[in-house]
Structure 1
């Protein structure tokens, strides 16, 4: 039986992705897509509560939709989503051995809560701890969590974008429904 996703054109899928509305404190823009990953691609960048210069102390992410009508074996179909999400953590949270597991579970929860079926999921969750020395001693200690993931989307593409947005906001400490909650400061200092 042919895969119904094969019948969807890239232009229709891209319009669906571009048509997603985001919470007001998650600013998303289209960016140049990386080349060489697939014949057709679209990329978005998102920042949680960015400052006037467009930088976020809270969290950032990237979403890339890839299309290859040749249906690479590893994808299990013509479509692939690649995402990245990163957020600073309090140093004591960064030492928790389950932080990486929680980050991955939030991705899966976001996909499920947005009714975004998928297959062939893979990825890495990384936590880093850092401490400034010498000229950087004033930066003190910091930690961050970073999730890199990919999956083959099934169903509506806009739901996958919404799940990615939810993930980035969750990592930044802003669960669904927290759009108007005051944030008193960034959690740690982002380092990269």
Structure 2
């Protein structure tokens, strides 16, 4: 999306950017839903929740997440710009990954690679990667152990193509959920809202 001639503090400008983001071509396994956005963080905000659906079983949710786009013309110092994206992506992994000491770094690398592959230019990135190991005991002792990975991140997007950031984040969700990458030359269809 090119630069707008509208003033950057104009609500119309924000609405135009949001429409471009909603038109982003995410993978068909990613189901996006607009949800109420936080109101106290920035004057302009939009939020989407997402589910990654198993392509073999539409009733099986492989991962969940949230994408929040914030805009504050006052350019909060911590943001290093007038836009900020705040996200998380969560999915269950194979239990043998629980003991991998590099899992946190791998999760963060998945985020950075997903943004790079989507040509999403950013700065001031920050975040955490958390793994939770669930072990069952007693009457539930027969349940296998499970591992959940959650990548929480925020960054300042280059405003020339904010839709690329939704695309990159949705690809991260698919990676965390265990879906193989989309083959080169294949184009995803616009996500469902």
TM-score by length of 1: 0.83
Superposed counterparts of 1:66-81, under 5 Å: 66-81=70-85
The one-character-per-residue Cα deviations of 1:25-69 (angstroms, maximum 9, x if unpaired) are 11111111123121111011111116767x61x111110000111
SS at match of 2:77: coil
Pairing partner for 1:110 from 104, 107, 114: 114
Name the residue aligned to 1:7.
Answer: 8
Pairing partner for 1:167 from 160, 168, 172: 172
Where in structure 1 do 4 or more consecutive aligned residues deviate above 4 Å?
A: 50-53
How many positions carry a matched residue from both structures?
A: 173
CA RMSD of aligned residues (A): 2.0
Segment of structure 1 superposing worse, 20-29 or 100-109: 20-29
What residue ranges of structure 1 are gaps of 5+ in the alignment?
179-192
What residue ranges of structure 2 are gaps of 5+ in the alignment?
184-193
Name the residue aligned to 2:191.
Answer: none
Alpha-carbon contact 1:121-1:151 (below 8 Å) kept? yes
Name the residue aligned to 2:135.
Answer: 131
The 1-side partners of 2:58 and 2:177 are apart by 18
SS at match of 1:100: helix
TM-score by length of 2: 0.82
The 2-side partners of 1:94 and 1:74 are apart by 33
